[in-house]
Amino acid sequence: MSELTTIARPYAKAAFDFAAEKGALDQWGQMLTFAAEVTNNKDIVELLSGSVTADKLSEIFIAVCGEQFDEFGQNLIKVMAENGRLMAFPEVRDEFLALKKEYEKEIDVDVISATELSDKQITDISSKLELRFERKVNLNCSVDETLLGGVVIRAGDLVIDNSTRGQLGRLSDALQS
């Protein structure tokens, strides 16, 4: 998987730079998402792993994608087909979307709580996290009934454990030291 990510990174960066220059980040995100779904199709996977020429592969791939791709997107398909990289489209999409979020200063944050959060709580958490991260925050709220109380917040590598269990664990550590 990491090999495909390494392969995908230059394609995603090139697509991102082009889309940002043209002001078409959303359009390119949709095109790459569509291409990633096409490469997940069982018949396409068999075709890509077969002995079909790059020209024929790009022709078939473009025919399947139809009107979803503009001429520049079709050029990306041709280049990736020539280099035998069409299977990397899901990773290209992931890398592209990560670059887009960074560019638009957005971050996805998972908030896990013991009970359903009220609208006011969600708004408060969102505004405080936006101040802390200096980015627009996209909250993904979920309930974990095994938590005694409080919330656990995950944003990338950062984990803020403000659950009752986490607080008791920190208290225990402080008392033992």
Candidate ranges 74-88, 118-132, 145-159; pick with highest mean pLDDT: 118-132
Does residue 47 surpass a pLDDT of 80? no
Of the residues 74, 102, 130, the one at which a domain ends:
102
Do 127 and 171 fall into the same domain?
A: yes
Looking at residue 66, the DSSP 8-state letter turns out to be: G
Contact 93, 33 (CB under 8 A): yes
What's the total number of domains in the chain?
2
Cα distances (angstroms) measured from residue 163 to each of 53, 79, 140: 56, 50, 17
What domain range is 87 assigned to? Answer: 2-102
135 pLDDT band, cuts 50/70/90, is confident
Looking at residue 153, the DSSP 8-state letter turns out to be: E
Q: Looking at residue 83, what is its pLDDT?
A: 85
Do 120 and 85 fall into the same domain?
A: no
Structure tokens at 61: 């791939």
What is the layout of strands, in order, in the sheet containing 158-163?
136-143, 106-113, 150-155, 158-163
What is the per-residue pLDDT across 152-161, written as a single tens digit (0 to 9) for each? Answer: 999 878 888 8
Do 116 and 63 fall into the same domain?
A: no
Does residue 164 surpass a pLDDT of 90? no
| CATH number, position 70 | 1.10.520.20
Average pLDDT rounded to a whole number, residues 5-31: 89
Structure tokens at 64: 């399947």
Q: Looking at residue 2, what is its pLDDT?
A: 64
Of the residues 102, 131, 147, the one at which a domain ends:
102
Through-space distance between the first and last CA atoms of the chain, rounded to whole angstroms: 42
**Mean pLDDT for the chain overall:** 85
pTM, entire model:
0.68
Q: Looking at residue 94, what is its pLDDT?
A: 92
Does residue 1 surpass a pLDDT of 60? no
Do 79 and 157 fall into the same domain?
A: no
Do 38 and 72 fall into the same domain?
A: yes
Angle 38-44-49 from CA coordinates, rounded to 5°: 130
Compute the distance between CA of residue 73 and CA of residue 66 in angstroms, rounded to an integer: 11
Of the residues 53, 86, 102, the one at which a domain ends:
102
Average pLDDT rounded to a whole number, residues 146-154: 86
Do 86 and 110 fall into the same domain?
A: no
Strands 150-155 and 106-113: antiparallel
Does residue 38 surpass a pLDDT of 80? yes
